[in-house]
Amino acid sequence: MFLKKIALAGAMAITAGSAHAACEISGNVSIVGNEFPAIHTVAKGAAECAGGEVKANLTADHQKINVAGMQGNPAEYSTAIIANSSIVALMNEDVIRPLNDLVAEYGQDIPKSQLITIDGNIMAVAFMANAQTLAYRKDVLEEIGVDVPKTYEEVLEAAEKIRAAGISQYPVGGAYAAGWNLAEEFVNMYVGHGGEFFVPGTAEVAINNEQGVAALNMMKALTEYMNPDFLTHDSNATGAEMEAGNVILMNMWGSRMGNLMDAEGAEEQVYSNITVGAPLTVGGGTTPASTLWWDGWTVAKNISDEDAVATFLAMKHGTSPAILNDETMSQAVWMIEGYKPAPVNDGVFAAMSAGTRSYPMLPYQGLLHTALGDNLADFLLGKESAEQALADTEAAYTTAAKEKGFLK
């Protein structure tokens, strides 16, 4: 009987091995994560593992369900795929486990740079990087005789020339939709001005300062060249504006450049001339006005050690060189050995080499992000001063931080 089992397992391993790299697990894996092509590839890679059940729930609403789905004991999800902003929510609720032991035993071959460590504890393994950088129309810049802008000030100059030449009334694009997107643009611009969000080491916010005002003023100056509906434009909408040929210059996510440069949704004149540039700087600063992001996977705390090992192995397999092929190669800037960057990824690499700061991984950053998203629109609409908008943001954040116990 025992022999038979071994023979069967061996046979299965061989079949699995013949199709793809062998991955044997003895436990169940349940993945929760965002829904875009790269994540699908990872989940599919993890599902290649034999010996246990591997299921995945990939949805744009993953952040609304991952904490609740990992709080139970045993947890519904054995792993959550998250980014540097959203790992914080999982750590705040103490639902993910440090991976030091698992890495020591099963993950010696994972490159050290992929390990996300906080206070010496490995909390996640990153597999892709993302950042917002410049996207521009090569042909239009040539037509007006302007070099590719390196700073936001140069973007404004180029925009004025494009408008004056009658090429486009609203040549600048940006994901300025009130809420998360708008807050993210402020974060970029504020970092570009060299601002710090909090009094170091505390949860006390400190954005109502010179850099904050300068960041808002630059955003306002840019909106003069944007479609007047900018407060309703998210990344999708502003991407569509570029594909429609209206937007000539914009700050856009590396992960969305592929959509802009493919033949779908735009005329040849437009898509063949869309080019990815480096992230922009602002106000004479050297740090780009952008933030670096990573996506990575975690392992839940409230699951059996057996399932934890299975999850670790499956996710390791799902983010191993085995998943890279012609189709998946261009889906993201993979932090995986054997990855060959395409022109579409130039921006993210430029952002990394230019010393762009990563989005802060602080327990209370999410609260500030929400407060920024709610309070900055009034300034851009001309209803109040930059100082007032920043003061409102600080007050809203401080109240929320008190409710969450971060401040007394």
Interface residue with another protein, options 46, 80, 102, 116 (CB under 8 A): 116
Cα distance between residue 171 and residue 242, in whole Å: 9
What residues form DSSP beta bridges with 205?
198
Smallest distance, another protein to C-beta of residue 46, A:
21
E strands present in 36-97: 54-58, 79-83
Pick the closer one to another protein by CB: 30 or 85: 85
Cα distance between residue 108 and residue 101, in whole Å: 11
**88 Cβ contact partners less than 8 Å away, ≥ 6 residues apart:** 361, 362, 363, 365, 366
Interface residue with another protein, options 324, 335, 336, 350 (CB under 8 A): 335
Check residue 75 for interaction with another protein (CB under 8 A).
Answer: no
Mark out the alpha helices in 60-137 (DSSP H runs).
Answer: 62-71, 87-92, 100-106
Candidates 133-141, 151-159, 257-265, 398-406; binding stretch for another protein (CB under 8 A) = 398-406
Pick the closer one to another protein by CB: 17 or 355: 355
| Cβ density class 263-302: b for 16+ within 10 Å, e for less | eeebeeebbebbbbbbbbbbbebebbbbbbbbbbbbbbbb
Interface residue with another protein, options 57, 151, 217, 388 (CB under 8 A): 388
Pick the closer one to another protein by CB: 141 or 172: 172
Helix, strand, coil shares of the chain, percent, nearest 5, are: 45, 15, 40
Which residue's structure tokens are 């408008």? 163
Smallest distance, another protein to C-beta of residue 335, A:
6
Pick the closer one to another protein by CB: 86 or 275: 86
Binding residues for another protein, total number by CB under 8 A:
71
Interface residue with another protein, options 248, 361, 386, 390 (CB under 8 A): 361
**207 Cβ contact partners less than 8 Å away, ≥ 6 residues apart:** 190, 195, 197, 368, 390, 393, 394
Structure tokens at 102: 């698992």
User: Please, are residues 380 and 215 in contact by the beta-carbon 8 Å criterion?
Assistant: no
For residue 158, give the amino acid letter. A
Interface residue with another protein, options 92, 100, 209, 217 (CB under 8 A): 92
Interface residue with another protein, options 227, 251, 275, 319 (CB under 8 A): 227
Interface residue with another protein, options 292, 299, 303, 336 (CB under 8 A): 292
Candidates 9-17, 29-37, 39-47, 201-209; binding stretch for another protein (CB under 8 A) = 201-209
Pick the closer one to another protein by CB: 46 or 396: 396
Among positions 143-182, residues that touch another protein (CB under 8 A) are 177-179
Pick the closer one to another protein by CB: 218 or 351: 351
Q: Residue 307: which of 76, 90, 8 has the closest Cα?
A: 76
Smallest distance, another protein to C-beta of residue 162, A:
18
Interface residue with another protein, options 15, 26, 73, 202 (CB under 8 A): 202
Cα distance between residue 290 and residue 58, in whole Å: 27
User: Please, are residues 335 and 348 in contact by the beta-carbon 8 Å criterion?
Assistant: no
Interface residue with another protein, options 25, 192, 360, 386 (CB under 8 A): 360
Pick the closer one to another protein by CB: 13 or 92: 92
Smallest distance, another protein to C-beta of residue 184, A:
11
Candidates 149-157, 184-192, 278-286, 354-362; binding stretch for another protein (CB under 8 A) = 354-362
Among positions 15-74, residues that touch another protein (CB under 8 A) are 63-64, 67
Interface residue with another protein, options 65, 146, 240, 362 (CB under 8 A): 362
Q: DSSP letters of 236-283?
A: HHHHHHHHTT---EEEEEGGGHHHHHSSTTS-HHHHTTEEE-PPPB-T
CA 202 to chain centre: 25
Among positions 301-330, residues that touch another protein (CB under 8 A) are none
Check residue 399 for interaction with another protein (CB under 8 A).
Answer: yes
Interface residue with another protein, options 8, 20, 35, 94 (CB under 8 A): 94
Check residue 245 for interaction with another protein (CB under 8 A).
Answer: no
Q: Residue 129: which of 249, 237, 290 has the closest Cα?
A: 290
Interface residue with another protein, options 18, 113, 286, 325 (CB under 8 A): 113
